[in-house]
Amino acid sequence: MKKILLLFSLITLVGCSQFSARKDHSQHITFKSSIPEGKHNFNLVSLEYPSNYNEKINFFKTLNTSLENLNSVQKNSFNLLITEDMNIDFNDLFNTGWLDKEILGMKIVEDLNPDEKNYLNSFNINVPTEAGEIQKLLNRQYFLLLKLTDNEALYNSEFLYTELDKSLLMEDILLNRKSLIENINSIKKNFVYFDSIGKNKKIIFIPNVTANINNLDDKSVIFQNSNTNSGFVVLPNSLVLFVGNNKKHLSTDDYEFTSNIVTPTSLDDLKKLLANSNSVSNLASWERTKKIENNSTESLENRFSTWEAK
């Protein structure tokens, strides 16, 4: 009975509107990585990924040039949003070195299936009129390989290309592709996956999330859109960072996080955005620690505003 009376007295002092059994947004968190206490911003770089093959080639050339012009510190802050289509093509590059239909240029003509032959025959180019079917396909394969290096103008419709010609051209393509793969690998640790492909990833980004974020894998890191919240909140199994600068900002005594989706308009713009960003991979080593007891001199209003229901 005494406990009930004491609780009633405290409610009276603080005011009923100040007392709510909600999760504590001032929980303590630690990081094994290099995230010191204080303010940190995480810019998530969004790049429009094309569906057309030729546009994809231009996309990767631009990306490769940008990465070649970044130093190691800037690359470490390059948090790239990965769409499902982008993820498929990135994995193809990592696993085989080739993209989309490029493998058709590498195959021996006799190994091409009917669909692959139809694709090569769709190229609107001239081929030796009196050549056989195999030779015409060889010419079309060589033209495809020339496209990869922006050398379509070197194609000679009267020349009879050989498998050796293809091999020499492939060596040049592979050297260029090696540079691209190495540069993409240099930022791979900071890939931020959309939920459609990232449910099993350490770091995921969920747009307009409707799922119960408490039921995700242990130690998940989530970037979540919100119409009201900004900052971050620590849940039992998830660290949730709210994307944007909304009014209700959540933080802890030790850390204050902000995160935004950004689309650079130029290389210089990209460098500025990276200079104001931290690496998302550093977030993966988070640990939720036991809440420190409230200071006895702290006001009742502040103590109850961070009260956590047991």
Q: What is the pLDDT of residues 190-201, one digit of tens each?
A: 999 877 554 555
DSSP reduced 3-state for 232:
strand
DSSP reduced 3-state for 258:
strand
What's the pLDDT score for residue 11? 34
Q: In whole angstroms, what is the distance from residue 69 CA to residue 46 CA? A: 18
Cβ atoms 236, 308 nearer than 8 A: no
Q: Is 169 left (phi over 0), alpha (psi -120 to 50) or beta?
A: alpha
What's the pLDDT score for residue 158? 92
Q: In whole angstroms, what is the distance from residue 264 CA to residue 119 CA? A: 35
CA atoms within 13 A on the CB side of 223: 30
What's the pLDDT score for residue 276? 94
Q: In whole angstroms, what is the distance from residue 201 CA to residue 91 CA? A: 15
What are the tens digits of pLDDT across the range 57-98? 889 989 999 999 999 999 999 999 998 899 999 998 998 888
What's the pLDDT score for residue 174? 81
Residue 307 tokens, joined: 């009260």
Kindly give, in sequence order, each residue whose CB lies less than 8 Å from that of residue 273, ignoring residues fewer than 6 positions away: 43, 45, 262, 264
Q: In whole angstroms, what is the distance from residue 97 CA to residue 173 CA? A: 10
What's the pLDDT score for residue 303? 41
What's the pLDDT score for residue 217? 55
Q: For the chain, give every domain's residue range.
A: 22-78+188-310, 108-186
Cβ atoms 144, 115 nearer than 8 A: no
Residue 202 tokens, joined: 């350490």
Residues in the chain with pLDDT < 50? 1-26, 198, 208, 210-211, 213, 292, 294-296, 300-310
How does strand 286-289 pair with strand 28-31?
antiparallel
Handedness of CA 10, 12, 15, 16 (dihedral sign): positive
